Every structure is written in C-alpha cells, then in structure tokens.
Structure 1
Amino acid sequence: MRISVPTIPIRATYPPAPYRTVQNATERVAEFLLPGNVAILTGAGVSVDSGIRAYRGHDGRYMNPNYKPIFYHQLMDESEAGYAYRQRYWLRSFLGWSMIRAAQPNPTHFGLAALQHAGVAPRLITQNVDGLHHQALNIPPGVKNQHILELHGSLHHVHCRHGHVVDRITFQRWLSEQNPEWQAFAEETERTGNKLRTNPDGDVAIEHLGTSYANFVVPQCPSCFLEGRMNSVHKPEIVFFGESIPDLVKKQSFRFVEEADRLLVVGTTLATYSAFRLLKRAVELGKPTLLLNVGPSRGDGVEQVERIDMASGLIITDVVKSVLGPKALVEPYRQMLASGVVKPPEDDTQPAEVSVAK
C-alpha cells in the first residue's frame, strides 16, 4: 500500500495575489460577504493566533521538516508493529493534548461566529480538529452542531476499534495512570514553560529529545475487557492520512457549498483534496469564491478564485463590523467582536533543553 502525504508546490507556481493594503482587503472581504448566504471553509491558519501551529509556513513548506504522520492502516494494525505505531502516536498526542485543551478562540473564530450567528454565513466547514469554532459560539467542543461541519473530525472523543467511545479527558486520564513517568514529564514541561512544538492535530515533535516510545503503555479498552476480549486499538475521532472521510460528512460538506450563494475560504493551503474539492465544486456551480490565506495554496491555479494574501486576524474584526453595521454595537455581537486571544506560537526553531523519561 502506497499513500502519500498531500503537498503543495514549495514555490508558488502561479503569480502571487495582487498586493492589497489592510484597508483595501478589509473593504473587499466585507463587500464579498454583504450579500449573505456565504459558506465558509477554514483551515489550520485560522487557529495560529490561538497558539496552535500550522503545518506549513508562508512559503508552503512544512515548518517541521521531520514531520512523519502515522497513517490509518498503521494505527489500526493489531500486530506488534501496529502497537509500536500506537505507542508513538499516543505518547506524542498525550503530551500535546494539554496545549489543545487549553487553547482559546481568537478574533477570527469570534468574527466568523458572529457572521454565523447573524445569518450572514450560516454554514461553516472546518478542517481543524481543535473545537475552537464551537467554543466561539459557546458550544462544547466535540458536540455535533448542524451549522459547523468538522470535515476531519474532532480530537475531543476517542473510540476503540470495536466502537466504544469515551471523551478525550477520560482517555487522557487512562494514559496518565498507565504512564506516571510521562505524566511527571508533562507536568515538568508545563511548570518550566518548555513547551513542545504542537501540530494542529495535537501531535508534538519530540525527535530532538532522543527518546524511545517503547516504554509507553497504551491502555486496554475497559468496555472490551468486560465483553471478554483484550483490545488496545484506540483512535481519536479524526481522519488520518490514508483514511476516507465518512460518506455522510462528505455529502454534508457538498451540501453546505451547494446551498450557499458564495464561498469564503480562510486560512488554508487546501493541500488535502477533501477541502480542495469543495472549492472546485463552488467554482463548477458558478459561485463567487474568495480565498483569504497567507502564502501559496492549491487554489492558486483556479482562475475563477479571487485571492487575498493576508492573515485573517489582521482584518476580520473590522470586516465583521462593516458587514453588521449598527448591529455590531449590540449584544451578543459587541462582546464577540471584543473577544479572542492573540497568542501565536513562539519561534521554537531551537528546541529548549528538557529532561525526559527514558
């Protein structure tokens, strides 16, 4: 089986988006949104101001050159080799979960939430698995909502291969109880502020620590044990590389685009085809499509797509104020547009020195 990680050209193949000032970009995005009934598609760039690092930098390159994702068939393999893959995945995810759980919505999340609440953009599709769009609308992460479609799933639930589901906080407790040395390491890094590089899927980079995954214990499923079998194959409710998006999710994503009059794409390179095909579908249907993103993307070669090369956080609050007009001054919009953290990830190109369990 050969499965490749989706990429975009390292160097932009197409001419860059026309230069725009912040004011001009604000006016154009507001103008695009004003007719209403807009579908929004978001990616990892939307959560950067919340402290969750995007996979790719401004030039489209992976910012962690050692990034090697675990594929679906590897995670679900019941052999000894599969258990080793799960040790690697769950150790890194165990260490990264606190960062994801602690993350708070930023102004882009709240701005888009205000557009949803006002009915300007009633449907939102996100590739992100962090639950921050839900939080901005005061919906608990992991709770299904008919107006927010998590295209690639959510980190907030875990299920075993036999379908038993637990919330992530419970599963994190299981991991902690089975791995006290790694719990102590996590507490030490939190205490000292030596945070690890966290990817959008909650995975952390620990290659520089020179550690082994061999001593990490992946817990057995208690429900399976009560049913008379041993099973340590657990998977977060996210779509892995090499795994197909559930058919119902795929159909709903197309329906969101088809029921809208236009599509706004925010903070994504569209490297995964599950997202890119939604842009293609909007174009096929003749719907105006605007891409707001920093750097090159897979959508650059689609002639009908209007592009603005700018971070959404620079303009989104003023965009929404312009679209909502006087309504922006009353609740809940006033509070929404005054909310949001702005804590982008620190430059960690030189990893901090930390001790590690062996």
Structure 2
Amino acid sequence: MRISVPTIPFLSSRPPLPQSSLQEAVDRVAKFLFPGNIAVLTGAGVSVDSGIRAYRGSQGRYLNPNYQPLFYHQLMDESEAGHMFRQRYWLRSYLGWPAIRASLPNTTHYALAALQHAHVVPRIITQNVDGLHHRAINLIPGVQNDRILELHGSLHYVHCKHGHSVDRSTFQDWLSAANPQWQAFADEVERTGDKPRTNPDGDVAIEHLGTSYRTFVVPQCPSCLLDDRINSVHKPQVIFFGESIPPAVKNRSFQDVEAADRLLIIGTTLATYSAFRLLKHAVELKKPVLLLNLGPSRGDDIEGIERIDMASGLIIRDVARLVLGTRASTDPIIAKMLQSGVVKPPEDDTDTEQALAK
C-alpha cells in the first residue's frame, strides 16, 4: 500500500449536516460508545489542542497553501538532487522537532486513554506520528502500548538506509553538532519567539529562507562508519508519500477493525487511502461507523455512516465521563486522566482559510 497525495478540497454531494449542540453531540457519541469494544481511528485534528496544526481547515483546504510533501523516492535518492532533498527535509525537521518534542497530550488523548483503560476502546489506530496517544496512555501502570497502532509510523525514531536506528533526540544532537550555525539560528528563533509554522509531520515551512538549506549538513551514520561505510541517508520512522506501509501494519489495521464491533473515526479527513480503506472495510463488514470531524471528509459520501461536524476537543472528555459513569470519579487512574490534558491550539487559522476560499 502506498500513500498518495490526495485531491482537495473534498466536494460532497450530501447535504450539510444540521448543527448539533454540544450536549446533543456528547449524547450521540456516548450512545455509540456504550456497547463497548470500539475501534478508534484518529487523525491530525485530534492533536490540534496540543498545539500541532492540522493539515486542513474546516473547508477541507490545506492551511499552508505552500505545502509540498516530500516523496519517499526523493528522500532516498542517492544522487546530488536527493542530497539536496535531504538537506531541505532535515533542516525543516531540525527546526520543527523542538515543538513536537515539547507538545503534550490534550484532553482528547487522555479521554481516549481513559476509555482504553476501561476496555471500552481496546484498540486505537492513529495516522498521527507525534506519539501523543502513547504519552497519554503511559499513565496506566504496565499498559501494553501495542494497543495503539501508529499507521504512518513515528517521528520519535530515525534509521539510516542500512537499518541502524536511533532515537530522534539523539539524532537532533547529531544535527546540532554538524550545524553550529543552524543551532545558533534555532536558539535565536526560540529566544525571540519568531517560530516558523510547524506542520503535523514535524517539519516547518522555510520558504522564506530560500536556498540557504544547502548549507545544512546531514551527518554520517556512526554505525555505518564503524563498518567502513560512508552513509548520510537517514529517514524518520514515518511513512512518506509514495512509500508502502509495511504489510504487518496494514494487516494489523484490518484486524483491529475486524475485532471491533464498531468504528469511531475522529479528527481526520480520511484523505490518505490507508485510512479511508479502513472506513470502507468497516462498512463492508456492516459495522456501525461514526465520523466525528470538523469540516468535510473523504467519507462524506459513504452511505450508512453517522457524521458529526465538530472538533473532538469540545466534547470527548464529557463523552468519556458519561460513558464511564461512577468510574470517572472512583477509579483513580481514570479520574486522573479525565483531569489531565492541555488545551493550547495553534493561533487562529480563520484568516488563512477565508483567503484560500476566495
């Protein structure tokens, strides 16, 4: 399975959804969850309250009009052109990583973790690569993190083309040591607060820096050097556009949907086929599906699914409290989770959306 760049915005033939009140939305989602054994599929909208921008706004358009994803073959190309692609990517990632590293789980992450702890939601499949679902569920002692499937991988690890793996913070230190001038630039950005726009995949927009990325040094892999190999081709452990999802991950995603009685989809436009096909699979199996997302999605024209047009952060904590009843206050782990979570969305992108709509 390969990730391809989707066409946007989404144009739905279905009529707009009637506006629901917050309490109506809470009641509808809670009713959907009450039977238990729910699989949850999440997207970038879930991490917005953690300060990480979604790719698209409420109209289905990219919030960054200059967004140009890097393709897998470009990153791994060993020609001079590929070297420049890697310079550009790793500079963007170098400047964006501190914001991802500092991000904290929000109320939606913790509410879903509470529902996992209560076995209402045994399985979470996420398209997000920020690791925030794992950070939220780590409040549960001895939890098995394999209950969270990262469909598109994780930003928290990097590997070279020969398979040597290192954690992202260590790789950040390598980048700093190889690029003292860019470390100074990053320190100045941090000091002034004039931070570039961070994307959900952990990099930043650097169009204003022109071709200065060509001074960025991508370090050699130390493990390869020990084997007398010169190799500076590194890749984060995420799935790039044009790259195949590992068969084990693809199969597991289908199995998680099959093992559940219902599928709740939160905060995603389902633009990538790897996610959209899970919705289609659930519908083919005649499993109830509820889509909670702000704005249009690729699933809007799928018959037989229930849709709510709303941001998850507005209601999911109250949904969890309603579903869990007295356990929301008597179970100390659940109570702690339902009192945890940041609400720090990025600056308002309304002006950007209005400009794009013109």
TM-score scaled by structure 2?
Answer: 0.94
Q: Give the deviation of 1:89 after TM superposition.
A: 0.3
Q: Distance in 2 between matches of 1:91 and 1:252?
A: 33
The answer on whether the counterparts of 1:264 and 1:289 sit within 8 Å (CA) in structure 2 is yes
1:232–1:139 distance in 2 versus 1, CA, 3 Å: farther
Q: Which amino acid aligns with 2:302?
A: V
| Residue 100 of structure 2 corresponds to residue 100 of structure 1 | yes
The answer on whether the counterparts of 1:8 and 1:297 sit within 8 Å (CA) in structure 2 is no
Deviates more, 1:177-186 or 1:34-43: 177-186
- Render the CA deviation track for 1:24-51: whole Å, top value 9, x for unaligned: 0000000000000000000000000000
| Residue 142 of structure 2 corresponds to residue 147 of structure 1 | no
The answer for the alignment partner of 2:28 in structure 1 is: 28
| Residue 297 of structure 2 corresponds to residue 297 of structure 1 | yes
Partner SS, residue 318 of structure 2: helix
Q: Gaps (5+ residues) in structure 1?
A: 352-358
Q: Give the deviation of 1:193 after TM superposition.
A: 1.1
| Residue 332 of structure 2 corresponds to residue 344 of structure 1 | no
| Residue 116 of structure 2 corresponds to residue 116 of structure 1 | yes
Q: Give the deviation of 1:15 after TM superposition.
A: 1.8
- Render the CA deviation track for 1:111-150: whole Å, top value 9, x for unaligned: 000011100001000000000000001179xx98220000
Q: Distance in 2 between matches of 1:82 and 1:88?
A: 10
The answer for the alignment partner of 1:204 in structure 2 is: 204
Q: Gaps (5+ residues) in structure 2?
A: 353-358
Q: Distance in 1 between matches of 2:245 and 2:298?
A: 20
The answer on whether the counterparts of 2:129 and 2:155 sit within 8 Å (CA) in structure 1 is yes
The answer on whether the counterparts of 1:8 and 1:298 sit within 8 Å (CA) in structure 2 is no
The answer for the alignment partner of 2:336 in structure 1 is: 335
Partner SS, residue 292 of structure 2: strand
Give the number of equivalent residue pairs. 348
Q: Distance in 1 between matches of 2:44 and 2:349?
A: 18
Q: Which amino acid aligns with 1:291?
A: L
- Render the CA deviation track for 1:205-241: whole Å, top value 9, x for unaligned: 0112335211000001011111011001000000000
The answer for the alignment partner of 2:88 in structure 1 is: 88
Deviates more, 1:111-120 or 1:188-197: 188-197
Q: Distance in 1 between matches of 2:243 and 2:184?
A: 34
The answer for the alignment partner of 1:355 in structure 2 is: none
The answer for the alignment partner of 2:64 in structure 1 is: 64
Partner SS, residue 198 of structure 1: coil
The answer on whether the counterparts of 1:8 and 1:269 sit within 8 Å (CA) in structure 2 is no
TM-score scaled by structure 1?
Answer: 0.94
The answer for the alignment partner of 1:42 in structure 2 is: 42
1:1-358 to 2 correspondences below 5 Å: 5-138=5-138, 145-330=145-330, 331-347=332-348
Please report the RMSD computed on the Cα atoms of aligned residues, expressed in angstroms: 1.9
Q: Distance in 1 between matches of 2:193 and 2:351?
A: 15
